[in-house]
């Protein structure tokens, strides 16, 4: 995820620039031995008294404990949210926007600390958390502070004496389940619009990444009214289910895989409440021949555009994990791309020079390896990488995988399934129609990328691809204000845009007659 503006240039680092691991002497991040749930503005121990170890993927070592909550803890969080919802729902837009801006300010004031915490939690390079994850989270709260104040209800003059007024009213208490790939930014994507629309929320962070959002809660606990944001940690099968099935929520938001997405929608159907599900993709990144017409800055940008599959170690729903390259430039273009991929610096993500860190968990590492194996069985050619990285020393226990490129065809499973790792599947196309056919030959439709110097072609391709977001001559930009969501089985609903306020609101219609005349029926 990158910014809309150029990220600050990183000076050539020296060893002293490497951030000290959280909890170690000299670190800017304090780590407690144990973290409780954040409920009603307080730190509340889990009812069952159980905790679970939280592991950093950087070295595979547990570094703190978080609550292993049960359904009873979800109920406590719902109690707190319900106790807070009337006052929060009745608060003025001025007050609500002020709280959202105060959250943004608090995150910004602690940006470096939270960036390092996020890196330690998830494994993503600190150059990304400093320049993208945290600044985008800050901006997201500010965007929705503004969006909620600019959102207007509508009125319609049905006839001279009859007026339909439409008001936005909060839903009440919502449940939100956050993925592990952007623990803080995805939380911001969900929490900001829910709060802006006047709702209180119960948040369940992903099981591998429960801690950084608790550090966020420490930062904002003094500026958010008690009960407006509640965070409960624990296993999805237990507390995720308890939250999603609860008749006490008015909406459920979820990002994750398709089967749990179906479960979420099924549970929502049982309670007759709305759901938003974002379920991933297998995004094509399409390079037309004219990108190589000149050896210039644009070509350099396009090459980086292909290499962005390794961004956040490929753990992105919109990872451009299928590169479609015009056959006439394939050899020359891939030669340049592979040379760039060879230069990807893998290592300790707390080092600002590191470009790729560890996968979030051993499960993810194992899954990625299993996909490279399937690719080999299917006849894919491994152009680079393909193995677990062994970095030695303190990092040997971490979950590192080499940036990998597999060449094959679109029917292979490595072209059809989201691997969620730094694995690119690359193939060629013959012409525009072939590019559209291959791009759309997938179950998913979340993201896509188009690279060409021809604006007409870019527009036609952008409209022809069945995906919710088509990046044109760019990739991995996530500015607030650009709607994000899926076609096909990539999900239902949109995020990241003012329209979310509608998704987190009821529409109240007052149909008012200013006439004094009876209807005359009775």
Partner 1 sequence: MVPVEPTPGVVATEAALAAIEVLTHDRGPMMFFQSGGCCDGSLPICLGDGELIVGEHDVLVGHVGGCPFYIDHRQYEAWKHTQLILDVGEGEPEGFSLSAGEGRHFITRSRVFDDDELRAREPRASPEAVAHKPKLSRRS
Does position 208 bind partner 1 by CB under 8 A? yes
Q: Which of 218, 278, 417, 418 is catalytic?
A: 278
Minimum CB separation from partner 1 for residue 74, in Å?
14
Report the C-alpha gap between 372 and 385 in whole angstroms. Answer: 10
Minimum CB separation from partner 1 for residue 411, in Å?
8
- In this structure, the number of other CB atoms found within 10 A of the CB of residue 163 comes to 15
Q: Which CB atom, from 362 or from 473, has the smaller least distance to partner 1? A: 362
Minimum CB separation from partner 1 for residue 389, in Å?
17
Q: Between helices 185-196 and 134-150, what is the axis angle to 10°?
A: 10
Kindly state the DSSP code that residue 156 receives in the 8-state scheme. E
Q: Which CB atom, from 197 or from 465, has the smaller least distance to partner 1? A: 465
The residue from 61, 162, 370, 509 that contacts partner 1 (CB under 8 A) is: 370
Does position 382 bind partner 1 by CB under 8 A? yes
Cβ atoms 41, 200 nearer than 8 A: no
Does position 237 bind partner 1 by CB under 8 A? yes
Report the C-alpha gap between 428 and 433 in whole angstroms. Answer: 13
Q: What is the 3-state secondary structure (H, E, C) of 124-143?
A: CCHHHHHHHHHHHHHHHHHH
Q: Which residues of 88-110 are buried (b: 16+ CB within 10 A; e: fewer)?
A: bbebeeeebbebbbbbbebbbeb
Q: Is 278 in the active site?
A: yes
Minimum CB separation from partner 1 for residue 378, in Å?
5
Does position 232 bind partner 1 by CB under 8 A? no
Residues 6+ apart with CB under 8 A from 65: 33, 34, 35, 51, 52, 53, 54
Q: Which residues of 455-490 are buried (b: 16+ CB within 10 A; e: fewer)?
A: eeebeebeebbbbbbbbebebbebebeeebbbbbbb
Report the C-alpha gap between 18 and 351 in whole angstroms. Answer: 4
Q: Angle at CA 41, nearest 5°, toward 113 and 66?
A: 60
Residues 6+ apart with CB under 8 A from 100: 141, 142, 144, 145, 148, 192, 195, 196
CA–CA distances in Å: residue 266 to residues 7, 251, 367:
42, 13, 27
Report the site for partner 1 in 164-183 (rule: CB under 8 A). Answer: 179-181
The residue from 123, 210, 227, 240 that contacts partner 1 (CB under 8 A) is: 240
Q: Which residues of 497-508 are buried (b: 16+ CB within 10 A; e: fewer)?
A: bbebbebbbeee
- In this structure, the number of other CB atoms found within 10 A of the CB of residue 330 comes to 18
Does position 363 bind partner 1 by CB under 8 A? yes
Q: Which of 317, 319, 402, 495 is catalytic?
A: 317
Report the site for partner 1 in 407-446 (rule: CB under 8 A). Answer: 411, 413, 416-420, 443-444
Binding span for partner 1 by CB under 8 A among 120-128, 230-238, 293-301, 322-330: 230-238
Residues 6+ apart with CB under 8 A from 293: 453
Q: Which CB atom, from 389 or from 404, has the smaller least distance to partner 1? A: 404
The residue from 91, 101, 155, 362 that contacts partner 1 (CB under 8 A) is: 362
The residue from 386, 445, 449, 468 that contacts partner 1 (CB under 8 A) is: 386
Minimum CB separation from partner 1 for residue 278, in Å?
7
Minimum CB separation from partner 1 for residue 326, in Å?
22
40: left (phi over 0), alpha (psi -120 to 50) or beta: left
Binding span for partner 1 by CB under 8 A among 120-128, 203-211, 351-359, 423-431: 203-211
Does position 376 bind partner 1 by CB under 8 A? yes
Q: Which CB atom, from 59 or from 255, has the smaller least distance to partner 1? A: 255
Cβ atoms 426, 407 nearer than 8 A: yes
Report the site for partner 1 in 254-283 (rule: CB under 8 A). Answer: 255-263, 266, 278-281
Q: Which CB atom, from 58 or from 380, has the smaller least distance to partner 1? A: 380
Q: Is 317 in the active site?
A: yes
Taken in order 153, 275, 178, 465, the sign of the CA dihedral is: negative
Does position 378 bind partner 1 by CB under 8 A? yes
Does position 379 bind partner 1 by CB under 8 A? yes
Does position 122 bind partner 1 by CB under 8 A? no
Going through 46-97 in order, the beta strands assigned E by DSSP cover: 51-56, 61-67
The residue from 95, 161, 294, 366 that contacts partner 1 (CB under 8 A) is: 366
What x/- string results for residues 452 through 491 when contact with partner 1 is judged by CB under 8 A? -------------------------------------xx-
The residues that are catalytic are 278, 317
Q: Which residues in this chain contact partner 1 in the complex, by CB under 8 A?
A: 52, 179-181, 206-208, 235-237, 240-241, 255-263, 266, 278-281, 317, 361-364, 366-367, 370-371, 373-374, 376-383, 386, 411, 413, 416-420, 443-444, 489-490
């Amino acid at each position: 995820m990158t910014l809309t503006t150029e990220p600050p240039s990183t000076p050539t680092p020296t060893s002293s620039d490497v951030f000290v691991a959280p909890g170690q002497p000299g670190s800017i991040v304090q780590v407690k031995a144990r973290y409780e749930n954040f409920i009603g503005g307080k730190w509340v121990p889990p009812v069952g008294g159980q905790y679970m170890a939280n592991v950093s993927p950087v070295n595979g070592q547990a570094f703190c404990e978080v609550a292993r909550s049960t359904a009873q803890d979800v109920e406590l969080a719902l109690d707190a949210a319900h106790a807070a919802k009337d006052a929060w729902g009745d608060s003025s837009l001025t007050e609500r926007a002020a709280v959202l801006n105060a959250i943004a300010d608090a995150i910004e004031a602690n940006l470096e600390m939270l960036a390092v915490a996020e890196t330690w939690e998830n494994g993503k390079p600190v150059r990304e958390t400093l320049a993208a994850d945290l600044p985008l989270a800050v901006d997201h709260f500010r965007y929705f502070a503004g969006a909620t104040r600019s959102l207007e209800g509508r009125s319609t003059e049905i006839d001279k004496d009859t007026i339909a007024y439409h008001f936005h009213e909060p839903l009440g208490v919502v449940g939100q389940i956050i993925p592990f790939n952007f623990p803080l930014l995805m939380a911001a994507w969900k929490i900001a619009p829910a709060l802006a629309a006047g709702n209180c929320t119960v948040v369940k962070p992903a099981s591998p990444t429960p801690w950084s959002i608790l550090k966020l809660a420490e930062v904002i606990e003094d500026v958010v009214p008690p009960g407006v944001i509640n965070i409960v940690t624990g296993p999805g099968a237990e507390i995720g289910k308890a939250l999603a099935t609860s008749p006490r929520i008015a909406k459920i938001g979820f990002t994750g895989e398709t089967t749990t997405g179906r479960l979420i929608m099924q549970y929502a159907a049982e309670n007759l409440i709305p759901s938003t599900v974002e379920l991933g993709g297998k995004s094509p990144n399409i390079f037309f021949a004219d990108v190589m017409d000149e050896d210039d800055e644009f070509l350099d940008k396009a090459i980086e555009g292909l290499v962005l599959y390794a961004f956040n170690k490929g753990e992105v729903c919109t990872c451009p994990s299928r590169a479609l390259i015009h056959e006439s430039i394939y050899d020359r273009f891939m030669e340049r791309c592979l040379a760039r991929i060879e230069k990807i610096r893998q290592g300790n993500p707390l080092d600002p020079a590191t470009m790729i860190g560890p996968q979030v968990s051993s499960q993810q590492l194992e899954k990625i390896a299993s996909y490279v194996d399937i690719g080999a069985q299917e006849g894919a050619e491994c152009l680079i990488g393909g193995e677990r990285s062994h970095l030695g020393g303190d990092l040997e226990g971490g979950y590192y995988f080499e940036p990998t490129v597999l060449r094959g065809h679109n029917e292979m499973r490595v072209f059809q399934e989201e691997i969620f790792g730094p694995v690119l599947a690359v193939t060629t196309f013959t012409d525009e129609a072939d590019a559209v056919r291959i791009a759309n030959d997938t179950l998913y439709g979340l993201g896509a990328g188009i690279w060409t110097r021809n604006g007409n072609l870019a527009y036609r391709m952008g409209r022809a691809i069945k995906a919710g977001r088509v990046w044109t001559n760019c990739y991995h930009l996530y500015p607030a204000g650009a709607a994000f969501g899926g076609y096909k089985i990539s999900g239902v609903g949109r995020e990241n845009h003012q329209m979310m306020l509608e998704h987190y609101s009821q529409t109240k219609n007052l149909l008012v007659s200013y006439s004094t005349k009876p209807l005359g029926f009775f």
